[in-house]
Amino acid sequence: MIDWLALWGVTQAVGFVFKPILEYLAKDTAKDYVKDFFKSCLSNVLPLPNSQQTEKQQETLKIVTGKAITEFLKLIQQELEDADLEYIQIQQYNLSLEEFIKDQQVAEALGQVFIDQNSLNTKLLKERWQKLEVGKTFLPNAFNWEQVAKRYQKKVKAIIQETPELREILNSQNLEKLAEAVPVQPEFDLIKYQEGILEQYGNLKLESLDTTGCAYKILKSRAENDENPSVRRATVQELVQVYTDHPDTLSILKFRLENDEHLDVRRAAVREIARGYKDHPDTLSILKSRAENDESSSVRQTAVRELARGFKDHPETLSILKTWAYNHDKNPSVRCAAVEELGQGYTDHPETLNILKSCAENDESSSVRYVAVEELGQGYTDHPETLNILKSCAENDESSSVRYVAVEELGQGYTDHPETLNILKSCAENDESSSVRYAAVQELAQGWKDEPSMFEFLQDRALHDPFKHGHGFQNSPREFALKTIVKNYPNHPQTLPLLRDRAENDPDEQLRTWANKQLE
């Protein structure tokens, strides 16, 4: 069986928030998604009914589709991180981004870049985000679709370059289009044309042409002098992508890292030094210094993450992460980064479990407790203490976000445990937070749908959950319960009467409208 997540680079991506979306695509649904993804540009090689497409071509297209979506979602995560969103906030975009990625127009736009690497339609992406239901999940003001598009286009170029099987498919497609558009004249003499090219340009010394000096000077000047921090940040990234080996590039990055007044530029410099100069003898000390001394918590957080991801096996890294996890940094976002990287990169280390337990139970920040609970649930399901910690957090933590993630981890990791059902039912019925009740109802509906009393439980939630719409994006437990009943129990004798009752009596106008449509 093919491990699609490994082929797409998801398994190796430490700290990647949107892995669940790729897990969805890795299922059989990916075959249909590939059709949408390459619909407008590779129509004659898609697995249509009469296609001659080989199994190898189908596999190639599925691999590059997954790689492209992985890179796109990484870029989305980077933009959200650049907007100073914390881990818990970024994770809440998972469901919205899954719907966004599944949208046929979005998929087609992302796939079109494989034919025209400058073609990603940012206007369409913005419009689809707003028009789809996910538009209720607001993107931060600093989110830059144009920046995402520019970087995605470069990632696609790299995927094409490293995949010869894809280039063969693309070349065959382009040759067919070219043959249709510009038929070769029968009298065309290719040999004579070749001789003419050699006669005219055979003595031209291409290596003597200076194609980089001027461009480098412009980039260097902008990195050092441009008043716009977005320009300086983009220039720092461009310098490393194109001129990593230039003798001046690292010095420019160091100067920007130590002296630039804008945190986004310093963050970009941290990333580019960590990734572009990993083997340089100064890089580790540079990252340690930024993690310790930068005045911006966002820069310190970025330095901690880059240390963990780029220098995991270095003997100093674990000690540094432990120090930062234990309240060394007063800013919770920095501690969150340290806790997350410990949980994902050092699961087998004997000290990690105790660190996560301590952070889950004792850290003053709900964001840190959230991350610690999540890492415990995902990395230590089989440890005898984990269930009790999750149960305690689900029932007693003062933060709704911590109770929320504890409920999720209980539902996904302990379906077979006899205590889990009652814990989740209690949270679904009694928690004061609608998001926690929603998570509990969701986990119960998905993990215990064959439980004999599940219909009655969902019916009770559809009738009696006290959810009311407030400001911003919120999930309604009542709505989820009703929709689950309609989907999973369409022939139950109580389903139709319940739907009629909600269509007439539910206090939520949107849910009444939906129920009425189901009755039509």
DSSP state of 140: P
* Termini Cα distance of the chain: 44
Looking at 311, 344, 375, the residue that finishes a domain is: 311
CA distances from 262 to 69, 87, 179, 235 (A): 30, 22, 52, 14
The predicted structure's pLDDT at residue 187:
56
Looking at 174, 191, 218, the residue that finishes a domain is: 174
- Residue 17 belongs to a domain: yes
Residues 163 and 44 in one domain: yes
Alpha helices in 208-323 (DSSP H): 213-225, 229-243, 249-259, 263-276, 283-293, 297-310, 317-323
Q: How many residues does the chain have?
A: 520
- Residue 358 belongs to a domain: no
Residues 230 and 299 in one domain: yes
The predicted structure's pLDDT at residue 89:
81
Residues 129 and 49 in one domain: yes
CA distances from 286 to 235, 257, 278, 397, 479 (A): 20, 9, 11, 38, 51
The predicted structure's pLDDT at residue 177:
46
Matching residue, tokens 């990593």: 244
- Residue 240 belongs to a domain: yes
Type of residue at 325: A
Q: Where are the beta strands (DSSP E) in 390-434?
A: none
Instruction: Give the number of C-alpha atoms closer than 13 A to the C-alpha of residue 449, restricted to the C-beta side.
Output: 12
Looking at 256, 288, 311, the residue that finishes a domain is: 311
Positions in the chain short of pLDDT 50: 43-52, 135, 173-182, 184, 204-211, 471-473
Query: pLDDT by residue (tens digit) across 478-495?
Result: 999 999 999 999 999 999
Residues 160 and 307 in one domain: no
- Residue 60 belongs to a domain: yes
- Residue 386 belongs to a domain: no
The predicted structure's pLDDT at residue 272:
93
Which structure tokens are listed for 4? 């699609």
Residues 103 and 247 in one domain: no
Residue 17's CB is within 10 A of a number of other CB atoms, namely: 23
DSSP state of 326: I
The predicted structure's pLDDT at residue 135:
46
Residues 149 and 36 in one domain: yes
DSSP labels, 170-207: HHHHHHHHHHHHSPPPTT--HHHHHHHHHHHHTT--GG
The predicted structure's pLDDT at residue 182:
42
Residues 24 and 125 in one domain: yes
Residue 227's CB is within 10 A of a number of other CB atoms, namely: 6
- Residue 260 belongs to a domain: yes
Residues 155 and 86 in one domain: yes
DSSP state of 139: P
- Residue 428 belongs to a domain: no
Q: Please calculate the CA angle 84-390-25 and round it to the nearest 5 degrees.
A: 60
Nearest one of 400, 392, 395 to 366, comparing CA atoms: 400
Number of domains into which the chain is organized: 3
The predicted structure's pLDDT at residue 213:
74
Residues 149 and 66 in one domain: yes
The predicted structure's pLDDT at residue 206:
43
Residues 234 and 103 in one domain: no
- Residue 301 belongs to a domain: yes
CA distances from 18 to 72, 86, 116, 404 (A): 10, 14, 26, 18
Alpha helices in 346-396 (DSSP H): 352-362, 366-379, 386-396
The predicted structure's pLDDT at residue 418:
93
Residues 232 and 170 in one domain: no
Residues 51 and 152 in one domain: yes
Domain range enclosing 37: 4-174
Query: pLDDT by residue (tens digit) across 263-299?
Result: 889 999 999 999 899 999 999 999 999 999 999 988 9
Q: Please calculate the CA angle 220-221-226 and round it to the nearest 5 degrees.
A: 120
How remote is the C-alpha of 144 from its chain's centroid?
A: 15
- Give the C-alpha separation, 63 to 6, whole Å: 10
Q: Are 186 and 179 contacting, i.e. CB atoms less than 8 angstroms apart?
A: no
